[in-house]
């Protein structure tokens, strides 16, 4: 299965947007271990940005025009436990919308490949 197929299999950008909304609203912003990272964030902008980024990461169209992962997380000093909490919330959000474990594993593998660009910045 190619990357484009994974993006399409999940349901394209509209489905990714629903996952991202649930991810932030129901999981991330209710988790005191990571919610503080978003206290001064325009969440509407963040959701749109994250939807484009995840869509691209899943093999969808490259509409992501944001900063590099390293630059976007500069000064946040994200630790492994924060990264792991976010990855778990993404796993849970995808599972909530019926994405298969096999497909979730592919998504988390892509996210994990960004780990070094995000941690300790």
Q: What is the pLDDT of residues 72-102, one digit of tens each?
A: 889 999 999 999 999 999 999 999 999 999 9
For the domain that residue 72 is a member of, what is the CATH number?
A: 1.10.490.10
pLDDT at position 113 over 50: yes
Report the chain's mean pLDDT, rounded to a whole number: 89
Task: Give the mean pLDDT of 9-36.
Answer: 95
Total number of domains in the chain:
1
* pLDDT attached to residue 69: 83
Segment 17-25 long-range contacts (CB within 8 Å, at least 24 positions apart): 17/47, 17/51, 18/97, 19/54, 19/93, 19/94, 19/96, 19/97, 19/99, 20/47, 20/50, 20/51, 20/54, 20/93, 21/47, 22/93, 22/96, 22/97, 23/50, 23/89, 23/90, 23/93, 24/50
Structural domain that includes position 27: 3-118
């Amino acid at each position: 299965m190619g990357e484009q197929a994974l993006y399409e299999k999940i349901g394209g950008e509209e489905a990714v947007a629903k996952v991202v909304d649930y991810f932030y609203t129901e999981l991330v912003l209710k988790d005191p271990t990571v919610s503080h990272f978003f206290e001064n964030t325009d969440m509407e902008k963040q959701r749109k940005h994250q939807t484009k980024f995840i869509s691209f990461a899943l093999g969808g169209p490259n509409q992501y025009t944001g900063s590099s992962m390293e630059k976007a997380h500069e000064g946040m000093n994200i630790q492994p436990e924060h990264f792991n909490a976010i990855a778990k919330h993404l796993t849970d959000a995808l599972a909530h919308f019926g994405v298969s474990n096999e497909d979730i594993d592919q998504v988390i593998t892509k996210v994990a490949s960004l780990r070094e660009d995000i941690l300790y910045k």
